[in-house]
């Protein structure tokens, strides 16, 4: 949990509790049930993850641009993905594909032991490393790399969360999923994307659709 007393020096006090509570109520009304996830949405200072010019919109339930053709995900989507990942989660290690501005990372970090996060855009990764340090989040390892390849060195992972959409499930990520682990990611072409949860069972993978979403594409390479 972020210490809001010390963090107020870094601008967390800029937004009112009423603004954050309104966002949390909206997420609850739209089906988010995990109290731990909702508390993180309330506590994480989303305005620090967007450009200053967009800070006044930070607690709207909408995606916002962060440069380089990327976005900070809609709070409901972040909450839904996190809730789905952690429902019955028995592991400790999570692989995140698409670090972006680090908002998803910050929401998830207090709820798991370790996060291994991969980003393909150097400038985004550099800024995000510093941003998470400023928020005293230290249980995250960073890698500049191709998200399609995952991060085999530290696998298998109990959970994998992917913040970009692919037309198909990346085989390399499925291979890095631990037994009984789960992968959460958007799959499908623009306009027809579905959020998918994949569970690794003893003999096969089981897929469950979690609803329609809209994400930037999971680009191959650097």
CA-wise closest residue to 159 among 99, 43, 81: 81
Q: How many CB atoms lie within 10 A of CB 74?
A: 18
Residues 82 and 36: their CA atoms lie apart, in Å, by: 10
DSSP code, position 139: S
Residue that the structure tokens 């440069």 belong to: 67
Residues 83 and 77: their CA atoms lie apart, in Å, by: 10
Residue 182: Cβ-neighbour burial (10 angstroms; 0-12, 13-18, 19+) = buried
User: Residues in the chain, how many?
Assistant: 222
Catalytic residues: 73
Residues 99 and 109: their CA atoms lie apart, in Å, by: 12
Chain centroid to CA 40: how far? 12
| Dihedrals phi, psi of 196, to nearest 5 degrees | -115, 140
């Amino acid at each position: 949990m972020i210490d809001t007393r010390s963090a107020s020096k870094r601008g967390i006090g800029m937004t009112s509790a009423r603004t954050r509570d309104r966002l949390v109520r909206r997420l609850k009304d739209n089906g988010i049930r995990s109290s731990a996830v909702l508390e993180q949405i309330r506590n994480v200072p989303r305005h620090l993850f967007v450009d200053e010019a967009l800070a006044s919109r930070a607690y709207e339930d909408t995606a916002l641009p962060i440069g380089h053709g990327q976005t900070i995900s809609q709070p409901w989507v972040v909450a839904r993905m996190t809730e789905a990942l952690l429902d019955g989660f028995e592991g400790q290690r999570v692989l995140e594909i698409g670090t972006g501005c680090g908002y998803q990372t910050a929401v998830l970090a207090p709820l798991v032991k370790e996060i291994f996060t991969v980003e393909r855009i150097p400038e985004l990764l550099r800024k995000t490393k510093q941003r998470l340090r400023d928020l005293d989040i230290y249980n995250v390892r960073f890698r500049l790399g191709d998200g399609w390849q995952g991060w085999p060195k530290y696998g298998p992972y109990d959970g994998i969360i992917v913040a970009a959409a692919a037309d198909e499930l990346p085989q390399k990520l499925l291979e890095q999923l631990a037994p009984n682990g789960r992968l959460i990611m958007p799959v499908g072409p623009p306009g027809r994307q579905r959020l998918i949860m994949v569970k690794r069972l003893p003999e096969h993978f089981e897929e469950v659709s979690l609803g329609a979403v809209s994400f930037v594409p999971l680009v191959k390479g650097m």
